[in-house]
Amino acid sequence: MPISYFLAISAIMFVVGILGVVLRRNALVMFMSLELMFNAANLIFVTYANYYQVLSGQIFVFFIMAVAAAEVAVGLALMVAIFRNKHSIDIDQMNSLKG
């Protein structure tokens, strides 16, 4: 398979992730879309690790996965804290700081 096959899949997944963040109002689904974008970036890393035959690209994917796991833990904890206060995770209702 040509390299561009993987690049195309990755580009489509990244755009769907952006659409999810921009269109959906459920904060949890927005988080999932972020994960989708992380995955698209990881796929590009692994593809070019294969293309240039350098292992560093694959090592970087592990670091991205670890940071994404940390981000999800803190983000979901924030969701729980926000839900306790507002009883909703609709992103449009988080406008308390609006002047």
Q: Please, which of residues 10-29 interact with another protein by CB under 8 A?
A: 11-20, 22-26, 28-29
Minimum CB distance to another protein, residue 86 (Å): 9
| 3-state helix/strand/coil string of 24-82 | CCEHHHHHHHHHHHHHHHHHHHHHHHHHHCCCHHHHHHHHHHHHHHHHHHHHHHHHHHH
Q: Does 97 bind another protein (CB under 8 A)?
A: no
| Residues in contact with another protein, shown as a per-residue x/- string from 38 to 77 under the rule CB under 8 A | -x--xx--xx-xxx-x-xx-xx-xxx-xxxxxxxxxx-xx
Minimum CB distance to another protein, residue 41 (Å): 11
Measured between alpha carbons, how far is 82 from 37 in angstroms, rounded to an integer?
A: 24
Q: Which of 41, 85, 97, 99 binds another protein (CB under 8 A)?
A: 85
Centre a 10 Å sphere on the Cβ of residue 80 and count the other Cβ atoms it contains: 10
Total residues binding another protein (CB under 8 A): 73
Please name the residue that has the structure tokens 């593809």: 47
Kindly state the tokens that stand for 8.
Answer: 């195309």
Minimum CB distance to another protein, residue 80 (Å): 5
